[in-house]
């Protein structure tokens, strides 16, 4: 009885290094693509705004309102698209970093709590 091995309880998944690296590179590419989509949409919206500015803008921007309405970046769709692009770029960088640090021929033990961060089964 005293020689029994202690076994951890919970859900553990084993993932081969090449599978983990491939998954991370796939997620990095996905997030790079999403960042590009958001930047393209922001550029298109900025272009549209230049072509059709707010006709009620009188040049006075003292109260925080500009030619496109409320200038708060929280309500600005272009600023939001830039924030979303930055978030996706950050995720892409994180996944590329993980992929580049996977040790070949290892088997990685993942807990169920790590799956969302790795976007497995998301």
CA within 13 Å, CB half, 18: 1
What is the mean predicted confidence (pLDDT) over 48-53? Answer: 72
**Residue 100 in this model has a pLDDT that exceeds 90:** yes
Average pLDDT in the chain: 85
The predicted model scores a pTM of 0.74
CA distance 108 to 99: 12
Nearest CA to 99 among 29, 4, 5?
29
**Range with the poorest average pLDDT among 10-14, 17-21, 41-45, 68-72:** 68-72
Distance of alpha carbon 46 from its chain centroid, rounded? 22
**Range with the poorest average pLDDT among 36-45, 46-55, 71-80:** 46-55
Asked whether 84 and 41 are in contact (CB, 8 A), the reply is no
């Amino acid at each position: 009885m005293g020689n029994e091995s202690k076994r951890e309880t919970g859900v553990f998944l084993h993932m081969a290094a090449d599978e983990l690296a491939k998954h991370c590179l796939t997620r990095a590419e996905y997030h790079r693509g999403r960042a590009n989509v958001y930047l393209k949409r922001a550029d298109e919206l900025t272009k549209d705004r230049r072509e059709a500015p707010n006709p009620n803008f009188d040049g006075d921007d003292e109260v925080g309102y500009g030619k496109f309405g409320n200038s708060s970046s929280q309500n600005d769709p272009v600023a939001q698209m830039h924030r979303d692009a930055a978030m996706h770029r950050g995720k892409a960088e994180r996944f590329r970093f993980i992929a580049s640090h996977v040790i070949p021929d290892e088997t990685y033990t993942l807990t169920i709590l790590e799956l969302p961060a790795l976007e497995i089964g998301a």
